[in-house]
Every structure is written in C-alpha cells, then in structure tokens.
Amino acid sequence: MGDLGDLNPDHEPKMGKDLVAGRDKKLWGGRFAEKTESSVEAFTASIDVDRRLYRHDIAGSIAHARMLARQRIISARDGAKIVAGLRAIQREIERGVFAFSRADEDIHMNIERRLIEKIGAAGGKLHTARSRNDQVALDMRLYLREELRLITDLVDALKRELGRTAKRYLKVIMPGYTHLQRAQPVLFSHHLLAYVEMLERDRERLLDCLDRVNVMPLGSGALAGTTFPVDRGYVGRLLGFPRISRNSIDAVSDRDFLLEFVSVAAILFVHLSRLAEEMVLWSTREFDFIELPDSYCTGSSMMPQKKNPDVPELVRGKSGRIFGHLMTLLTVLKGLPLAYNRDLQEDKIPLFDTVETVKSSLEIIRDLVRELKVKPPNMLQAAQDGFLNATELADYLVGRGLSFRSAHTVAGRVVRYCLAQGRRIEELSLQELRRLSPKIERDVYGFLTAEAAVRRRRAAGGTAPENVRRRLKELGV
C-alpha cells in the first residue's frame, strides 16, 4: 500500500467524472503516461486481503473528514457530504452490493473511488492532509485494538471454564508428573489451575500489548507530517485513542505492535498446545483419565474402533501456524529502511490469520473443557501406584530427626525392597518398615495415603484442598 499523497488537481472536477472515468486511470496516476499492466495490478492488489478493514477505514475517514471541516480545511458542507457518503458506502458493503475492484488495489482506494462516484468532487477532498501510509497504520491499529479486546474476553472465558471444571472435581486426586513419569499426588483441580495461571499471564500480555496498539498515527502523512493545520488530538478523541504518535517517520513504518501481538499469541499457543497435548494423552487407553465427548472426535476411515482426538490435535498443530506468522513478520520487517515500504503490505495475512486462529482455538478448547468426562477412580488408582508416596515417607523421617538426605536414602531403600516384593509401601508391615529404619512408628501409615499427601501440602501455592478452594474463590467460581 504505497503512498497516495495529497490529491490536489489543478481544477475542481465536475462531479468527479474525470476521476472515475475508466478503471485504467488511478486516482493518483497523474505522474504516469502509461497504463498499469494488468499483471502488476493483480500482483500488487491487496483488496482480497484487506477488505475486512472496511469498518475501520470508514471510521478513520469519518473522523478525518470531521476534523478537516472543524479546522476549516474543507467546508462544513463538503465534510457533511463526505460523512454521509462514507456511511452509505458502509451500508453497501454490509449488504453485499459494493463492487470491490483489484484495479483500485486496496480497501482505501476502493472506498475513495466509490465516494467520488457517489458525491462528486467533494469526495476527492477527503484525502487532504493524509496519506495511505498513515491511513493504513490507523486502520491496523483500530482493527487490532478491537480484536485484542475480543481475544482477552475469550481468554477470560477459558479461565472461567477451567475454574468451573476444577471446582466440579475438587476432590479428585491424580498423579502429578515430571519427565512424564509419575511423581507426586496432586489435586486434578490444582493441575487445571496451572493453566489458569498461564492464561492470566497471557491476559496481562494482551492488555500490555493493547496499551501500545492504542496510539493514533493519523496526521503523520506519508512520512513527514502535513502542512495543513490539522488537529490530531481531536481525531484521536473521536476514535478513542488516549494518545497520538510522536514521530511521523516511526508512525508510518512501525509494525512493532503487530510483532508484539503475534509474539503474545505464540506464547498463548504454547499454553493451548500443552493443554491440548494433555487432553490427547489423558484420553488414551494407556492413561484413561478422561473421555472426550464423541461430538469433538472423529473416527477412522479404516479402523472401526478408533476415536480420534482431532480437536486438541488440531489446536496443538495450529501452534506451528502462529509461530510461522511471527517469523514471517520478523523477516518482513528486519531489513526495511525508514519509512514506509510496500513490503509492509505483507503484514496483513499473518495478522489476520493469527487473530482468527487464536479466537477459534480459544472457543473450541473452552467448549471442550466444559464437556470433558473425568474418570476419578482411574486417576486415583494411578496416583496410588508407582510409589508416589516415597517423598511422604522421606518427609516423615525428617520429622523424626533425620536429615533430608538420610531420609531420602532410607525411602529409596524402601522402594527397592517393595519392587523386589511386588508390593506398595503402605502394604508393608510395621516390622518390615522398622527393619529399614527404626525411626518409623505406626503413625507412618497416616502419612502414606494419596489423600494425606495432598492434604499436607499447605504451603502457599501447594496442592492442598484449602489452597485450591482459596484460589477458586479468588477467581470467582
């Protein structure tokens, strides 16, 4: 989307006819003697991608027209005609009757062309004191600001759903894992709330990103500002921007706000992918901790027994798309001289696809969490197998006066003995346990259950039920 410059014809066109007569003559084509090649038009056109910005483009143009009239740069009558014409064009687009043209390259020129067709010469005055460079920067910020708020709401919705599921299964115990090996008993709720913490950080990053998106660039012109007595603060207030950009060169060339959003989206997708991976694992017969609803799975074209977890697998897979979009934007931007370059047209597909992928994935994971069928007996059985209470035995011995390293060694010997016997620690007699450590008394059995292991971890942030209840209360579920 190259610079349009200010439209300053030598004479006032009559009803704009000389500006709209034929698609081979661009609105900004006075410099050129030859018609643009159709292959070049097709190659450079972005209208198929950026047409979704029509609402934002029209909103920015209405604010700009009002400012021009308020500053007496154009007449109040022309300003009113422009605003009415733009609103009529928005209705045409939303009714599906607007004729988009690749010859007009982008959403800005499609709308301006139609405006001149509708209201004549007054339409040609809209572009006074602005460039497509600051115009597209404004549109992108308006678009992303709106989407960031929607995405933040979806993150909140997923947090609430995880919180509700955690509350529903508050007493369920499962094995916690390190290295994908059973490690210690934890509450299933505590495990789910780990994802709430991740999402809370994602939310904070989204809001922090929003603060830098919410800067008004219009009035920067092509790169050097404008000679007209514009009131940028007034335009910013009309469009709800708390502040305006401070450097015109930076304002038209800056895409840091896109990089920041897509990087935040990439981190968010790391979290969604991890959650999706656990759904895949937990729903296997090997784990058998949960069952995914049939309506979120597919069958096999060959194997009748299969129930494939396609939804979490696709969420996991889509993380690669988001990471790729981040690399695309970094690559586009990393070698550009100041200020605007046409390369920046390539920022839209990565941005738009990231936004849509994030929204759809948050929605589908939220719905899937809501419909999960949890299998508490299987989780508890897994938490009781594999000597997950060995740490409890070590902690018990520390309470009896041993150093933790000595207690760790004793507990390891107990595990080795159990492995040789094919028994659990809690199945050993007191006499057997005392042969391994005379420090052990009958009360040790009260320490060895999964319930006791969970209940005793009361330190802030631990898996104890009282901690989990407190956190759920903080979350309002």
Structure tokens at 138: 């404004």
Residues annotated as catalytic are 179, 300
Confidence (pLDDT) at 285: 94
Q: Which domains does the chain have, with CATH numbers?
A: 17-128 (1.10.275.10), 134-380 (1.20.200.10), 384-471 (1.10.40.30)
339 prior amide bond cis, ω within 30? yes
CA distance 73 to 255: 30
Helix, coil or strand: residue 402: coil
Instruction: Return the ∠ at Cα 28 (arms to 32 and 352), rounded to 5°.
Output: 120
* CA distance linking residue 138 with residue 23, whole number of Å: 27
Q: Kindly tell me the sign of the dihedral angle through the C-alpha atoms of 41, 43, 44, 50.
A: positive
Q: What is the pLDDT of residue 26?
A: 59
Task: Collect all residues with Cβ–Cβ distance below 8 Å to 306 and sequence separation of at least 6.
Answer: 299, 300
Packed helices 54-70 and 107-119: angle between N→C axes, nearest 10 degrees: 50
- Which helix or strand (DSSP H or E) is residue 173 part of? strand 173-178
Structure tokens of 281?
A: 């694992």
- The pLDDT, as a whole number, for residue 11 is 44
| Positive or negative torsion for Cα 284, 289, 294, 297 | negative
Q: How far is CA 434 from the centre of its chain?
A: 56
pLDDT tens for the chain, 477 residues long, are: 444 344 444 444 444 444 444 444 456 556 676 777 878 877 878 889 999 999 999 999 999 999 999 999 999 999 999 999 999 999 999 999 999 999 899 999 999 999 999 999 999 999 999 999 999 999 999 999 999 999 999 999 999 999 999 999 999 999 999 999 999 999 999 999 999 999 999 999 999 999 999 999 999 999 999 999 999 999 999 999 999 999 999 999 999 999 999 999 999 999 999 999 999 999 999 999 999 998 888 887 888 778 899 999 999 999 999 999 999 999 999 999 999 999 999 999 999 999 999 999 999 999 999 999 999 999 999 999 989 999 999 999 999 999 999 999 999 999 999 999 999 999 999 999 999 999 999 999 999 999 999 999 999 999 999 999 999 999 999
| Separation of alpha carbons 220 and 354, rounded Å | 28
State both tokens at 241: 């921007």
The pLDDT of residue 117: 97
Q: Phi and psi of 374, rounded to 5°?
A: -90, 145
- The reported pLDDT for the residue numbered 28 is 55
Write out the DSSP string of 273-328.
HHHHHHHHHHTSTTT--EE--GGG-B--SS-TT--B-HHHHHHHHHHHHHHHHHHH
Residue 414 near residue 389, CB atoms below 8 Å: no
Count of all residues that appear for the chain in the document: 477
**Secondary structure (3-state) at 183:** strand
pLDDT at residue 262, rounded to an integer: 98
Residue 68 structure tokens: 């021009």
Residues 6+ apart with CB under 8 A from 455: 464, 465
Give alpha helix (H) positions in 120-180: 132-168
The pLDDT assigned to 9 comes to 41
CA distances from 225 to 81, 222, 251 (A): 26, 7, 10
Dihedral pair phi/psi, residue 216, rounded to 5°: -90, 115
Q: How far apart are CA 330 and CA 158, in angstroms?
A: 29
Note the pLDDT of residue 296.
Answer: 86
